[in-house]
Chains A and B, each alone.
Chain A
Amino acid sequence: MSNNIASGHLPQKEVNHLVRVISTMGLLPILLVIIVAALSIFEPRFLGIFNILNVLRETSFLAILAAGQMLVLIVGGFDLSVGAVVALSSTVMATVMANMLGIMPDDVGLVIFIGVAAGIGCGVVVGLVNGLCVAYLRVSPFMVTLGTLSIASGVALLLTNGIPVYGMPKVFVNGFGRALWLGLPTTVYVALTLVIIVWIIQRFTVLGRYIYAIGGNLQASQVSGVSTKRYLITAYTMCGALAAITGVLLTARVGSGQATLGGDIMMLQSIAAAVIAGVSLRGGIGRVELVTLGALFLSIVTNSMNLVRIDSKIQTIVLGVIVIFAVALEEYGNRRKIRE
């Protein structure tokens, strides 16, 4: 890109064309290529196999979370509670598993099943509450999810007193959470499956079509006979469930249930990944395949900052800057579109 600009003044028409391509595709693919190329040249550790697996694992967590966030953004809302749901599902699952294992030490399979179900169930409940409040009480998504954020993280802390919960079955941690299948972390497969499911929903199903329609124009959808409340609730519930699944995977990886997993940073990251990928904050626009690229981009940025030992406090500052920049870019693109 810098070559282009250096080689002379571009005619206005080409600049417009460039802007249009960027606003439909997003800057992402370009940015990804640049950052990967730069890292490969300047930071040899980036291409180490251990580091790559690490990046993929982080990307997987974030991609699942951001896919849920994207669904809510598309219906024209947003979900601040996802980070807290990660913590809640982590602590609930670990607590359930540890207790169940004491009761039925031989039935490890059942223990894992119930524990995971409990963890995901937490996310479904929080998502459902979010959706019901937005759809029926017409409270703004900001306030509702801020409220459930507070509630979910409060419950998680109450449950654990802030102490990590150990005692999950070893198979679950070593055989799943930390395991590699065919050379890749198990989370990668889970994330890939979920992303493909969301992609299918978006492209091929009535549900996906309605989620776009509601975000595109709520009233028009209502007038067209779409039961908007039902689909609003569905979107929030899916978001909660996906956040809980992220919590389950993270917990399996870490090996203990922790009320500090997820948190504000992951919530911010999930919104950032979606917005970088061109998901509109006004609703109606967003594709999960691009959001996954957004998650990959953010994970690489974080990873590279870790590699060059940038202070984690500074990393959160960088994340904030990226979010604001991405939103500003989206607004700029919008204004160009209207003028055409």
Chain B
Amino acid sequence: MYKDSDQVLDAVISSPANTGEEVPSSSILEMRGISKQFPGVLALDNVDFDLRRGEVHILFGENGAGKSTLINVIAGTFPPDKGTFRYDGKDISHLTPHRARVMGISPVFQEFSLIPNLTVEENLFLGRETSTTGFLRKKAMSARAAKVIEMLGFDLDPKKRVSSLSRAHQQMVEIAKALLADVRLLILDEPTASLTENETYKLFELIGRLKADGVGIIYVSHRMREIKEIGDRITVLRDGLKIETCNAADVGENELVELMTGRKIDVLFPKIDHKPAEKLLEINNLTLANHVVENVSIYARAGEITGIAGLVGCGKSELVRAVFGLEALEEGEIIVKGEQISHPRPDISLSKGVCYFPSDRVAEGLALERPIRENASMAALNLTDFSWMRVLKKLNERKLIQGIVDRLKLRPPNIERAVGNLSGGNRQKVMLARGLTRETDIFLFDEPTVGIDVGAKVEVYDLMKELVDNGAAIILVSSELPEVLNLSNRLYVMHRAKLVAELTGDDMTEQAVLSCFFQDEEANSKAGA
């Protein structure tokens, strides 16, 4: 199906730090010197990676370390700028998603490649329908789909529309889709993020069977337990660089975290002196209209960071979004500084001193074509500092924004640059600058360090410390466990739309949080405290 195109220059062949016991042909995939540049970020910098048949190779690293770029290169979503790509002993270039699939590379991404308006079985066969002269053979496909779903042991109705399925079920469809074809290299990107323990167990069983069949598996995960349970080798990435590849059995947890962050964990996180004072924000029995959050009660106090941990899609982001007025409520109350807000709206929230920093800074935060100054002042233009009788006070604006930008150590500190030219870390600083343009004492951080480098992370953390020291209340929502564990004074854990635990002091451990995800005890919610 594919032809080998002209040999790519084998310029950079660095010797891999392997154990070196196997002959090259046992590798199904060998990548050397892979680099990929995105506007503002070098996502992959001269990375070597190889995958053997019948092994589970874990990709480990923080958000933005380059894991997803690497698996996208392997899946053919976009080509690398540099480097060689050998698959099954042949040099491959000009890989497309279609060719990758034909060659047996099946990716399961976190953003699902499903068509919402089609049914489960229609989605399973998308791109490789069984047909005779252009006509679909629906019966044959139905039968095959039913068989695959049964083999996987998933609880899925093949006739249902994907748009009506929960995230967990969509994840199952995605996995089933990847396994429908003849798979030789399977990519799983945090596949268990929305599965229950039982479903996870079935998935691991399946992975065992695939390994026995000689399928190579690239597995992206943050969870130590999974890494220990199924991983054969681990490759650690950080800031686009390959840090190390090692056998899973040879490294300990702490070692891995150190490799991942590049520093001792206690250096990364500032020492925050929490001095909890009065409750600034209270949420009582909150349920959202779309039931992504059900009956959640939490509070945040001045002078402390309140963390919310949970898996992707558990409703933790939606909870703070609802407080700010971005989600439709069904019932429950939101009390800001003693005053009940029945219909939160972003403009009301801002005027009450509540500020939300979205996780998706491009979609919800920034106007990329506009300069830093305009982006930073956007939420404060109605204040007398920035305008008088609806006429902008540009001089004042420039002065105030420059001051804030300098305080945030944005580099270069030129506030007339378009935000689109900035790196992830600097973009986040522009968002933070926007929050600092107003009198604000309740800060809602939604995944504040997604996609930004370690240096910028430290600066974000330092800013949080500064805010808390000055008596602000911070709610920190994060999927990065080390982050919430180290920064929070109190930690709430959410799972499947519900609050399952509130942890404080010595109870705040990775084990305690993970066990909340895994035991599906929805009824007896509150532990700890």
Binding site for B on A (CB under 8 A): 204-207, 209, 212-213, 216-217, 219-227, 284-285, 337-340
Q: Are A219 and B115 in contact (CB under 8 A)?
A: no
- Cross-chain contact B289 with A212 (CB below 8 angstroms): no
A-B contact pairs, 11 of them (CB 8 A): A206-B135, A209-B126, A209-B129, A213-B118, A216-B115, A221-B126, A225-B98, A225-B102, A225-B128, A337-B163, A339-B289
Q: Are B131 and A223 interface neighbours, CB within 8 A? A: no
Contact at B136–A209, with CB atoms within 8 Å?
A: yes
Residue of B nearest to A219 (CB): B113
Given A225-B101, A227-B98, A220:B113 Cβ within 8 A? yes
Provide the bound-state CA to CA distance between A225 and B124, in Å: 12
Assembly CA distance A284 to B328 (angstroms) = 26
B290 part of interface (Cβ distance < 8 Å): yes
Instruction: Produce 1/0 per residue, B83-120, CB < 8 A to A.
Output: 00000000000000110011000010100111111100
Q: Is B127 an interface residue (CB 8 A)?
A: yes
In the complex, what residue of chain A is closest to B109 when comparing beta carbons? A223
The yes or no answer to B252 lying at the interface (CB within 8 A) is: no
Asked if residues A216 and B116 are in contact (CB atoms below 8 Å), the reply is: yes
Check if B338 is an interface residue, CB within 8 A of chain A. no
Measured CB to CB, the closest approach of chain A to B417, in angstroms, equals 27
CA distance A225 to B117 in the complex (A): 18
Of residues A221, A225, A339, which shows the largest number of chain B Cβ atoms within 10 Å of its Cβ?
A225
Whether the pair A224, B97 counts as a contact (CB closer than 8 A) is yes
Binding site for A on B (CB under 8 A): 75, 77, 97-98, 101-102, 107, 109, 112-118, 122, 126-129, 131, 134-136, 138, 163, 177, 289-290, 328
Contacting residue for B115 out of A204, A225, A284, A340, CB 8 A: A284
- A16 CB to nearest chain B CB (Å): 13
Extra A-B contacts (8), CB below 8 Å, given A220-B112, A223-B97: A204-B135, A204-B136, A204-B138, A205-B135, A209-B118, A209-B126, A217-B113, A223-B75
How far is it, in angstroms, between the C-alpha of A225 and the C-alpha of B77 when the chains are bound? 10
The residues of B that contact A219 with a CB separation of less than 8 Å are 113
Residue of B nearest to A280 (CB): B117
A-B contact count (CB 8 A): 74
Count chain A CB atoms within 10 A of each CB in B75, B107, B129 and give the residue with the most: B129
Find out whether the CB atom of B136 lies under 8 angstroms from the CB atom of A205.
yes
Whether B290 pairs with A338 at a CB distance below 8 angstroms is yes
Q: Indicate if the CB atoms of A212 and B290 lie closer than 8 Å.
A: no
Min CB–CB distance A23 → chain B (angstroms):
13
Which residues of chain A are near B131, meaning CB under 8 Å?
Answer: 205-206
Q: Does A205 lie within 8 Å of B134, measured CB to CB?
A: yes
B134: chain A residues at CB < 8 Å are: 205-207
In the assembled complex, which residues on chain A have CB atoms less than 8 Å from the CB atom of B128? Answer: 225
Chain A residue with Cβ nearest B133: A205
Q: Are A212 and B97 in contact (CB under 8 A)?
A: no
Question: Do residues B115 and A212 form an inter-chain contact, with CB atoms below 8 A?
Answer: yes
Shortest B131–chain A CB gap in Å is: 5
Q: Taking A206-B136, A209-B129, A339-B328 as contacts, is the C-beta distance between A223 and B118 under 8 angstroms?
A: no
Report the bound CA distance from A6 to B118 in whole Å: 38
Cα distance, A216 to B162, chains bound together (Å): 11
Query: Which of B77, B289, B290 meets A223, CB within 8 Å?
Result: B77
The complex places the Cα of A219 from the Cα of B72 at a distance, in Å, of 13
Q: Is the CB of B114 within 8 A of A209?
A: no
How far apart are the CA atoms of A207 and B177 in the complex, in Å? 20
Residues of B close to A217: CB separation below 8 A:
113-116
Query: Is the CB–CB distance between A224 and B113 below 8 Å?
Result: yes
Give B181's nearest chain A residue, CB to CB: A225
Do A223 and B113 have beta carbons less than 8 Å apart?
A: yes
Contact of B126 among A226, A227, A338 (CB under 8 A): A226
Docked CA distance A212–B161 (Å): 13
Q: How far is the CB of A125 from chain B (nearest CB, A)?
A: 24
Q: How far is the CA of A227 from the CA of B101 in the complex (A)?
A: 13
Within the complex, the shortest CB–CB distance from B362 to chain A, in Å, comes to 16
Contacting pair A216 B101 (CB below 8 A): no
Residues of B within 8 A of A340 (CB): 290
